[in-house]
Chain A
Amino acid sequence: MSAPGATPGNSAAFTGAMRILAGLLEARTGQILSESRIWRIETALKPVLRMNGMANLEELVSQLLASTESNLTDDVINALLNNETSFFRDLQTFDMLYRDLLPQLSSSKQDKVLRIWCAGCSTGQEAYSLAMQLRKDAGRWQGWRIQILATDISTAAISRAQSGLFSQIDVQRGLAINDLLRWFEPVGDDWKVSDELRRMIEFRVDNLLEPKASSGDYDLILCRNVMLYFSLERRQKVFSRLAEHSRQGSYLILGAGETVIGQTDAFAASRSFRGSYERSAKTEKINQPVRKTA
């Protein structure tokens, strides 16, 4: 099979370069590029090639191998990560959270502390959507301490999330017009999230395989459309990490095509809330020593 843009003379070098780049991504993030995605490497990296005045992937790989400069590696990793997301992505999940699961947490928690972790938050739309829902139901959460931690391995994605700036295309995907008017203001051609929402969320760069950012137990963890990029072994490891940061009765939400079945016994499908998983009483068996962080 020949890669798009490859010529017969350089196709072996081209394919080799792509394998090295896919290997770099896996080494740095644990994520695996499927065969169908591996051929998109060239398209994804075009902006990096342009920015650095490089002609092709082979030249980029040579630079990566020769250089100890981490900025170029970071740029490559950021470009290869899939940051696809939108506000209120999978509307049914957010309806369920707003209507059922969040009210249940508010009635069951005596300490009036709500801790939510968006693990693999991409450019922040998921965390901001949750913040909007919590503000929409402000009366219910009066007197509560609400913490939303949103982490992602992509430095570029977290930087964008922290900025709170979204394009016209971004704000039209999933965001109702009344929410746009209520929570955003126009800044040039973009839209900026209100400080009120931004203050509710802590965005941090973190690796799900070795999370440093989170400490203590979370009542609700959203880790959606992340597991599909990991091997089974790494998925089990991530589930173990999520289990370490939850307690019996905590909830986990995965992406529409993801499941815990056959991968962990730390979470089981919730009987009350469709599409969510509850932390079970069983102690998760952890394969590797857990690195304790502050």
Chain B
Amino acid sequence: MKNCLVVDDSKVIRKVARHILESLDIKVTEACDGRDALNQCEAAIPDVVLLDWNMPVMSGMEFLQELSRTKMDARPKVIFCTTENGIGHIKAAVEAGADEYVMKPFDRDTLESKLQIVGVI
């Protein structure tokens, strides 16, 4: 069973994402900011990280930069999942190493399709 770490400061978004991911047979863990996510990745590397952009303590971009600097056995796939829908944000995320980008609001088909593209399902 694949693992997904959902990183979002919104409890509602985490709940929606969990519901969709579990329906796709993916095990879900949650983090409420980038720092929390980084700590969890150091403890156990997930297959994929669903990452919000704007969060307190550590943003999604800061998390991505820290992740690339952190020595790990394997690197998780990273899918940005954010309301930042401008092309500038998308390009910045891809340049920073994001594998995919989901613009909120999203639905099950969108998330399933992005998980297929990154090879998680």
Contacts of B107 in A (CB 8 A): 169
Q: Mark B92-121, 1 if CB is under 8 A from A, else 0.
A: 001000101111001101100110110000
* A30 on the B face (CB < 8 A): no
Contacts of A174 in B (CB 8 A): 113, 117
Shortest Cβ distance from B86 into chain A, in angstroms?
8
* B10 on the A face (CB < 8 A): no
A176 in contact with B117 (CB, 8 Å): yes
Shortest Cβ distance from A57 into chain B, in angstroms?
29
Contacts of A91 in B (CB 8 A): 116-117
Contacts of A178 in B (CB 8 A): 94
| Residues of B in contact, count (CB < 8 Å) | 19
Contacts of A55 in B (CB 8 A): none
Contacts of B102 in A (CB 8 A): 172
* B41 on the A face (CB < 8 A): no
Instruction: Give complex CA distance A176, B94 in Å.
Output: 11
Instruction: Give complex CA distance A172, B116 in Å.
Output: 12
With most chain A CB atoms within 10 A of its CB, the pick from B98, B101, B102, B113 is: B113
B109 in contact with A173 (CB, 8 Å): yes
Contacts of B90 in A (CB 8 A): 177, 180-181
Q: Mark A164-206, 1 if CB is under 8 A from B, else 0.
A: 0000110011101110110001100000000000000000000
Assuming the A-B contacts A86-B113, A181-B87, A186-B87, are A172 and B103 also in contact, with contact meaning beta carbons closer than 8 angstroms in the complex? yes
Contacts of B19 in A (CB 8 A): none
Contacts of B103 in A (CB 8 A): 168, 172
Contact among A173, A176, A185, A186 for B110, CB-based, below 8 A: A173
| Residues of A in contact, count (CB < 8 Å) | 14
Assuming the A-B contacts A176-B117, A177-B90, A180-B90, are A169 and B100 also in contact, with contact meaning beta carbons closer than 8 angstroms in the complex? no
Q: Please name the residue on chain A nearest to B86 by beta carbon.
A: A186
Instruction: Give complex CA distance A186, B116 in Å.
Output: 24
Instruction: Give complex CA distance A185, B90 in Å.
Output: 12
With most chain B CB atoms within 10 A of its CB, the pick from A91, A173, A185 is: A173
Instruction: Give complex CA distance A176, B102 in Å.
Output: 10
Contacts of A168 in B (CB 8 A): 85, 103
Shortest Cβ distance from A215 into chain B, in angstroms?
36
Q: Please name the residue on chain A nearest to B107 by beta carbon.
A: A169
Report, nearest first, the 3 A-B pairs whose CB atoms are least far apart. A177-B101, A172-B110, A174-B113
Given A177-B94, A177-B100, 15 other A-B contacts at CB below 8 A? A86-B109, A86-B113, A91-B117, A172-B102, A172-B106, A172-B113, A173-B113, A174-B117, A177-B98, A177-B101, A180-B90, A180-B101, A181-B90, A181-B91, A186-B87
